[in-house]
Amino acid sequence: MNRDHLTIGLAQIAPVWLNRKMTLDKVLAYTADGGEKGADLIVFGESLVPGYPFWVELTDGARFNSAVQKEIHAHYMQNAVSIERGDLDELCALAKQKQIAIYLGTIERPEDRGGHSLYCTLVYIDKNGQIQSVHRKLMPTYEERLTWSPGDGHGLVTHKLGAFTLGGLNCWENWMPLPRVALQAQGEDLHVSVWPGHLRNTVDIARFMALEGRSYVAAVSGLMRKSDFPADTPHLDKILANAPDMLSNGGSCLAGPDGEWVIDPHSNVGEETLRLAEIDHQKVREERQNFDPAGHYSRPDVTRLVVNRQRQSIVEFDEE
């Protein structure tokens, strides 16, 4: 195999909404399929496990001290991912078995922040089945702030995979110039952006980021239909009363370092699919000839970025 080449899989799937176990079963199935088809990397959408908080805008989510909001949020918390508990262990084992790396969007309930707050977290698992980064979304967007907590810079790291250097961000983080620069400065040339899912979110920014970074950019969305809400969802009647038939329509895509589509976002709208593409690092090197945003086309004597990658915590213990 040509070391410059890498096969990436874009897994555009719907969760079994707010059901961690059943959604992880789907992730396992798609990961196994990607591995069998020769993918080196498979990417899943933002907050896929156990799902995006669609209820907030559909059920008067900003009403303070609402019993409805408390009950749905408690259900959400109960189905969130605890890495410390081992919720991703089976997926890590499969990554090692299939020799496939994974970017997975989760809702994380981390013990290092007390175990009762939720974070929109992008997890990277390498081909040896090791979790290499846990990136908590820096700033939840709009109504997301009613259920997700702000993250930190600990996960602003890159990873080597073959000839490529990978980095990833959640949803509207991709609009934030400085986090993009933080990854570019670490050699990123395959940028992974994950989204809850809609063509309007992917069709413009994927090509823009590819041109800006002279990198491949994968934009991977989830999918959500009315039929993806389980019958035992708390207050399902209230959620469905205001929900459209299609809440998230996908639009996953892959742009090359010249800004041209490798996988067009219009090609898979509204369907669950695993799309694979082989990418070539030679294309990155060609496009960096005239523009390299963190290299020869930067001026660190004029503008520089300082990044705090310390994991944030409310307490620090000094042990004797």
By annotation, the residues acting in catalysis are 46, 137, 171
Q: In a 3-state reduction of DSSP, which class is residue 184?
A: helix
Q: Are strands 216-221 and 253-255 parallel, antiparallel or unpaired?
A: antiparallel
Q: Looking at this protein, which amino acid is placed at residue 287? A: E
> Pairing between strand 5-12 and 246-248?
unpaired
What is each CA distance from 315 to 114, 155, 172, 318, in whole angstroms? 10, 20, 29, 10
Phi, psi of 233 (to 5 degrees): -65, 130
| CA neighbours closer than 13 Å in the CB half-sphere of residue 234 | 18
What are the angstrom distances between the C-alpha of 158 and each of 181, 199, 211, 249, 277? Answer: 12, 26, 19, 29, 21
